[in-house]
Each structure stands twice: as structure tokens, then as C-alpha cells.
Amino acid sequence: MAPVKLYPPRPEKVYLFGTCLIDMFYPEAGLDAIRLLEREGIEVIFPDDQTCCGQPAYTSGYHDEAREVARAQLGLFPDPWPIVVPSGSCGGMMRTHYPQLFAGSVDEALARDVAERVFELTEFLVHVCHLPLEDHGEPETIAMHTSCSARREMGLADTGPALLAKLGQVELVEQVRASECCGFGGTFAVRHPEVSSAMVEDKTQAIEATGAKHFVTSDCGCLMNIAGRFAHQGKDVKGEHIASYLWRRTS
């Protein structure tokens, strides 16, 4: 269980850490996150030298390599603004594991400082921005998959659904075993492909059974996995990052 976090008042500026998956595969989701924040009058600083939080190496056990990658990110947020991350998995890495990675090293204080300023996007929109949303879209039912890192590591099972609930025309339908992992797990999907695909198969079936033609997630790893499975089956269920969905319906 993530410890209770005290939320700051709405800041003038924030940093956005876009994550490598968004950078390479879903850049629109990153841009939509920026648009949502800017619409709230918050200036978004996107440090150009950002790359990856280091998590893939970290969960694979390559901590020396992960630490160097993480170290390269630590210096990108010099001012005391919050750091918004549109991913529970990268957010969890930075908030929980950065302090562990640098424990006992000269960068420990910096790592802690960064960790304390990290917010997952939906968390930030709900608890710091108290984001108002005016839905301009057609009536629609939608499913959501909250990533395991957002749900369990960061304790954010409710923030995604809370945002969707603000969309007047959207009905969120919950799939069976909603809290079960979709089977992505970073390198897990590659090291144990058969188990992973059995998991994503069950997840797509559960989402499909809700009748929703659309699902959102707050993590691009899960999105890539679940949407990739739907596409492979030729099924007409489309996935989207929640930032893009919110922006699309309210802009």
C-alpha cells in the first residue's frame, strides 16, 4: 500500500517526464497530457535531455546500468516544480525505486527530492489540478485497464475512473477481474511469452465481454500489450492512453 501522500496546491509550472514508450510509440499521448495541463494554466517544462527512467534494466536485475540511466534523469528537474509522469509504471519506478537505487550514494538526497516530486498524470489531474472536464463527445461506454504499478505500487486505482466519471456522456464499464495484470510486465512478456499471452488473452476477453468498443489505460506498456492482442485477433476494440481520450472528448 502506497503511503498517504499530501498533495501540494496547484503549481505555476510542472515538469513532464514523457517516458520512453510514449516518446517512441505514443507521442500524441504525451502531447495530450501537455495540452490538458496547459489548458489548466500550468506551464509545462519538457526537459529535452530526458530519455528513459531506467526501469527495463532495473526489473531485469541490471541495476548498475539502470542506476546510470536514472542518474542521467536526476539532474533534469532543477527547480522545485512537480514532475508529472503519464505512466504508473515509470512513475512508480521514479517514486519508489530511485531512492532505493541511490541509497547510500552521493545522489541519494537528489533521488529522494525527485521521488517526492513525482506524480502520475491522472493522480496529478485529480488531486492537484482538481481538473474540470466538459465532455463534447457522443455517448459511449468505455472500459479501463489501470496498470498494476498505478494500482498497487502507487496506490492509484481510483484516479483514472474519477476522471472518466467527469465526462458526462461516458459510461465506464468494469470488466471481470479488473485488478488482474494484463501480462505485460516489461521483459516478462519476452522472457515468458506463453504465460504472458495467456494473460493478455484473458484480459482482452474480459474487456470484450463488457461490450465496450474502446478502452483506455494510463500506461503505454499495457496499451501496447492489450491493443496489440486485439489487433492481432482482428478485433474491433481500440485502445488509447487516457490523456488522449480526455483531450479528444473535451477539446
Partner 1 sequence: MSAAVQTFTPKAFHRQAHDALGNPQIRDNFRRAMDGLMSKRRDVFSDWDLETLRELGANIRLRALAKLPDLLEQLEANCQANGIRVHWAADGDEACRIIRDICESHDARAVIKGKSMVSEEMHLNDHLEQAGIEALESDLGEYLVQLNQQTPSHIIMPAIHLNTDEISEIMHTKTGTERTRDVDYMTAAARQQLRERFMAADVGVSGVNFAVAETGTLCLVENEGNGRMTTTVPPVHIAVTGIEKVVEQLRDVPPLYALLTRSATGQHVTTYFNMISGPRKADEHDGPREVHLVLVDNGRSSIYQDDELLDTLRCIRCGACMNHCPVYTRVGGHTYGTTYPGPIGSILMPHMLGLEETKDLPTASSLCGACGEVCPVKIPIPDLLVRLRKESVGEGRGNVPGAGVKRSGKEVAAWKSFQWLATHPAAWRRSTALAGKLQALMPSSIGPWTDHRTAPKPAKASLHALVKRHRRGEGEA
Alpha-carbon span 9 to 180, nearest angstrom: 33
Of 8 and 99, nearer to partner 1 (C-beta) is 99
Judged by CB under 8 A, does residue 231 bind partner 1?
yes
Judged by CB under 8 A, does residue 40 bind partner 1?
no
Judged by CB under 8 A, does residue 23 bind partner 1?
yes
Q: Which stretch binds partner 1 (CB under 8 A): 18-26, 112-120, 126-134, 205-213?
A: 18-26
Nearest in space to 90 (alpha carbons), one of 19, 31, 140, 29: 19
Of 193 and 211, nearer to partner 1 (C-beta) is 193
Q: Is 79:13 a contact under the CB 8 Å cutoff?
A: yes
Alpha-carbon span 132 to 162, nearest angstrom: 11
Judged by CB under 8 A, does residue 138 bind partner 1?
no
Give the shortest CB-129-to-partner 1 separation in angstroms: 19
Alpha-carbon span 163 to 240, nearest angstrom: 15
Among 43, 198, 209, 238, binds partner 1 (CB under 8 A): 198
Judged by CB under 8 A, does residue 95 bind partner 1?
no
Q: Report the interface residues with partner 1, using CB under 8 A.
A: 1, 18, 20, 22-28, 30-31, 34, 46, 48-52, 54, 56-65, 68-69, 71-72, 148-149, 151-153, 179-181, 183-201, 224-225, 228-229, 231-232, 251
